């Protein structure tokens, strides 16, 4: 079964499920190891770990290169945050083709103009014209088909637009090939999300990103009919805090005394990098003897045998 099909299954379940945010292959491995059924490959995370802003400063080729490392390393599907698609319909279909070929699972495209501005930065939230964005979605779906699960992200609430527009946009996106919609909100309470869910009657799954309303119980969203919730950037933020704290302690203490137990042991790093698989491969291939061949002997052994 392809990762795209597995991701579709996650969205189609009756109960709420979660995708864990990842910003590189290592964080994706940790998410999978922790039991998450899939990962969200965050544009913010990919940008931040490259020292860049979440404003399309990371090119689509750089994104695809890093996504390929993730797809090669984890068995769970990934939903790739491709921002606005890096341009017009043609850019979108190029990226969709690349991601489908990699076999990562899915892609999420948001209905803003290029270059985008992160949803949690005040100002500059310019929505795309609806039909133009629908063209981007259709281009992605026509190009990748069932090899890429396509999620349309609606930023209407983020841009201060009313519920009616959010619903209209998502209806059009579903008609244009989106396999699911993601309704986003930067409010600290889930009122916009719950209002949307009360009026959403289409047979297309809905995802949310509870970054600002993260303390709301999962059961609230499950009862409302949300299919998937995405912990988009929590791993990134946790890593930043952990590194800052350790760097500060080492700067002040000038020794790792009493700190070694607060960080991962080196064997854990090797475990996450899958060194055990390499050891097994060495045993299998380093001394491989083809079937039917005689065991190899050294030239010295052969000469000694002839002399006697």
CA distance 180 to 207: 7
User: Of 190, 208, 232, which one is at a domain's C-terminal end?
Assistant: 232
DSSP letter, residue 112: B
pLDDT category at 302 given cuts 50, 70, 90 is: low
Most confident of 25-29, 118-122, 285-289, 296-300: 25-29
In a domain, 299, yes or no: no
In a domain, 302, yes or no: no
pLDDT recorded at residue 300: 47
Mean pLDDT within 211-222: 98
pLDDT exceeds cutoff 80 at 163: yes
In a domain, 54, yes or no: yes
pLDDT, tens only, 230-266: 999 999 999 999 999 999 999 999 999 999 999 999 9
Looking at the fold, whether 23 and 168 belong to one and the same domain comes out as: yes
Active-site annotation holds for 191: no
In a domain, 293, yes or no: no
Looking at the fold, whether 255 and 137 belong to one and the same domain comes out as: no
Looking at the fold, whether 78 and 26 belong to one and the same domain comes out as: yes
pLDDT recorded at residue 195: 99
Looking at the fold, whether 270 and 224 belong to one and the same domain comes out as: no
CA distance 115 to 57: 8
Looking at the fold, whether 161 and 274 belong to one and the same domain comes out as: no
pLDDT recorded at residue 122: 83
DSSP letter, residue 298: -
Q: Please, is 49 exposed, middle or buried when counting C-beta atoms within 10 Å of its C-beta (0-12, 13-18, 19+)?
A: middle
Looking at the fold, whether 157 and 271 belong to one and the same domain comes out as: no
CATH code of the domain in which 159 resides: 3.20.20.60
Q: Name the average pLDDT for the chain.
A: 95
pLDDT exceeds cutoff 70 at 307: no
DSSP letter, residue 47: H
Looking at the fold, whether 152 and 34 belong to one and the same domain comes out as: yes
pLDDT category at 135 given cuts 50, 70, 90 is: very high
pLDDT, tens only, 67-82: 999 999 999 999 999 9
- For 216, the domain range is 3-232
In a domain, 294, yes or no: no
In a domain, 300, yes or no: no
Looking at the fold, whether 145 and 248 belong to one and the same domain comes out as: no
pLDDT, tens only, 278-292: 999 999 999 899 998
Please tell me whether residue 185 adopts helix, strand or coil conformation.
coil
Looking at the fold, whether 143 and 194 belong to one and the same domain comes out as: yes
List the one residue out of 130, 70, 132 whose CA is nearest residue 106.
Answer: 70
In a domain, 297, yes or no: no
Looking at the fold, whether 158 and 261 belong to one and the same domain comes out as: no
Mean pLDDT within 135-143: 99
Q: pTM higher than 0.75 for the full model?
A: yes
Q: Which residues pair with 153 in a beta bridge?
A: 110, 182
**Which residue among the candidates 54, 83, 111, 179 is catalytic per the annotation?**
54
Per the structure, how many domains does the chain have? Answer: 2
Least confident of 121-125, 149-153, 163-167: 121-125
Q: Which residues pair with 182 in a beta bridge?
A: 153, 207
Cβ-based neighbours of 159, under 8 Å, separated by 6 or more: 112, 125, 126, 127
Looking at the fold, whether 147 and 279 belong to one and the same domain comes out as: no
Percent of the chain with pLDDT over 70: 95
pLDDT, tens only, 46-105: 999 999 999 999 999 999 999 999 999 999 999 999 999 999 999 999 999 999 999 999
Looking at the fold, whether 122 and 267 belong to one and the same domain comes out as: no
pLDDT recorded at residue 124: 72
In a domain, 67, yes or no: yes
CA distance 119 to 68: 26
């Amino acid at each position: 079964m392809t990762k795209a099909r597995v991701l579709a299954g996650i969205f189609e379940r009756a109960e709420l499920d979660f995708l864990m945010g990842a910003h590189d292959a290592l964080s994706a491995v940790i998410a999978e190891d922790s039991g998450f059924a899939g990962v969200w490959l965050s544009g913010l995370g990919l940008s931040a770990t490259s020292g860049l802003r979440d404003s399309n400063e990371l090119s689509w080729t750089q994104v695809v290169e890093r996504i390929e490392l993730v797809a090669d390393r984890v068995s769970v599907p990934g939903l790739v945050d491709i921002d606005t698609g890096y341009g017009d319909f043609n850019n979108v279909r190029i990226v969709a083709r690349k991601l489908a070929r990699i076999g990562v699972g899915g892609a999420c495209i948001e209905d803003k103009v290029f270059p985008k501005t992160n949803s949690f930065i005040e100002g500059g939230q310019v929505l795309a014209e609806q039909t133009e964005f629908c063209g981007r979605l259709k281009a992605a779906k026509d190009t990748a088909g069932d090899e890429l699960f396509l999620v349309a992200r609606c930023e209407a609430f983020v841009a201060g637009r009313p519920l009616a527009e959010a619903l209209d946009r998502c209806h059009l996106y579903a008609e244009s090939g989106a396999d699911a919609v993601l309704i986003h909100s930067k409010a600290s309470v889930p009122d916009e999300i719950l209002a949307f869910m009360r009026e959403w009657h289409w047979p297309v799954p809905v995802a949310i990103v509870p970054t600002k309303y993260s303390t709301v119980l999962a059961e609230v969203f499950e009862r409302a009919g949300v299919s998937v919730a995405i912990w988009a950037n929590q791993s990134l933020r946790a890593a930043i805090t952990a590194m800052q704290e350790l760097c500060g302690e080492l700067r002040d203490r000038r020794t790792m005394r009493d700190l070694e137990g607060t960080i991962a042991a080196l064997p854990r790093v090797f475990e996450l990098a899958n060194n055990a698989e390499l050891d097994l491969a060495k045993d299998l291939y380093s001394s491989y003897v083809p079937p039917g061949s005689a065991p190899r002997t050294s030239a010295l052994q052969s000469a000694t045998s002839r002399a006697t």
